[in-house]
Amino acid sequence: MSIEVKVPQLPESVTDATLVAWHKKPGEAVARDENLVDLETDKVVLEVPAPSAGVIKELKVENGATVVSGQVLAILEAGEGAVAAAKPAAASQPAKAAAEPKAAAAGAAGGKLAPAAKRMVEENKLDAAQIAGSGRDGRISKGDVIQHLAGKEGGAAPKTAAKPAPAVQLPPMGGSRNEQRVPMTRLRARIAERLIQAQSTAAMLTTFNEVDLTEVNAIRARYKEKFEKANGVRLGFSSFFIKAAIEALRKFPAVNASIDGNDIVYHEFYDIGVAVSTDRGLMVPVLRNAENMSFAEIEAAVGAYATKAREGTITLEELTGGTFTVTNGGVFGSLMSTPILNPPQVAILGMHKVQERPMVVNGEIKVRPMMYLALTYDHRIVDGRESVQFLVAIKEALEDPARLLLQL
């Protein structure tokens, strides 16, 4: 029995997708629910599973094509009989199998390839088994593929006997001048579009402050072992900053608002977006109703979303919405930056590296763990006074964490 493999129903906000890579070829057997093809939308990579065990009869769409909901991608000959018939046919073509190490390598390492890395491996006809993965359990990232390509193209030259150089000889001009031209992914193009949109439509300003994290560090040091033992997750900075941001948003509701045409929408809930850097670009998964979450629930959710985003398994629904965003450039060593708004939100909080600095405390100079905070806001609905007071509220909550418990 022949079955049509179709593009799944895409969310309302997504009109089409790009077919990134097929994982099966005509004549190959597949198991039920085995991933057949990757589709890339503006935000996520979708996997299309096999609806039944069988053999791929025909591929209707090529890599790189644009597809829409319900479009037929392939024809699958379903049934165990089809699978059994496919096995001797595959065995009778050893020469063909030997001529295609790329397909074998992709099958062996496909589970360890990030979506962006998988695309580069197939575009450059690489053997994935020869690429060293730097991720968890040997997972291969886009950066690993780029490093592998650079090693192939710019290998070390053989050593030769040294010769005296003429007195007037000039040093050689530069080294390797290799270049790579890689198409921008849909996600990267969408990110670029949204950043330009934010800069061209919002009246963005950034205000700064600094926070002394002495008390937060003391709490984390005092309770980290008990917290991890009780909750199965580490006590990090994320939960403190998200809790502090929520309390500040309660005091200044305009910072938690959004713009819809000529209307200001004041949200009476707190869906906090947490920016996550991935090989494919920046993603912002959303903690729904974060005001109802405990410290442990926030830490667990942030960790789970970060893992899913980097592995390419996060869903579009988990990236949709949000009333306020928190981003942490400090994990990369950034001391200060000006984050860009995530429309239609009107504010974003930037965290940075914790740096020990001499500070005057009660007339004495003491070394304190300090962090610069940045709040970028849309001046159309958030005034300078509100933005400054918002950051002060976060500063006060973190320097005296008891405020978070008492909601002061």
* Active site amino acids: 379, 383
- CA angle at residue 390 from 384 to 394, to 5 degrees? 150
- Give buried/exposed letters for 209-218 (b at 16+ CB in 10 A, else e): bbbbbbebee
Q: Let me know: does 125 contact 103? Beta carbons within 8 Å.
A: no
Would you say 190 and 375 are in contact if contact means Cβ atoms under 8 Å apart? no
Residues 373, 353: Cα–Cα separation, whole Å? 10
Taking the alpha carbons at both ends of the chain, their separation in whole angstroms is 66
As a whole number of angstroms, the distance between CA 293 and CA 277 comes to 23
Instruction: Look up residue 154 and give its two tokens.
Output: 């710019």
Nearest Cα to 275, choosing from 312, 241, 309?
A: 309
Query: Can you list the positions of beta strands (E) in 155-234?
Result: 204-212
What distance in Å separates the CA atoms of residue 352 and residue 335, rounded to the nearest whole number?
A: 5
Residue 34 and residue 78 in contact, taking contact as beta carbons nearer than 8 Å: no
Cis peptide before 344 (omega within 30 of 0): yes
The pair of structure tokens assigned to 95 is 């020469």
CB within 8 Å of 260: residues ≥ 6 apart:
344
SS3 assignment, position 56: strand
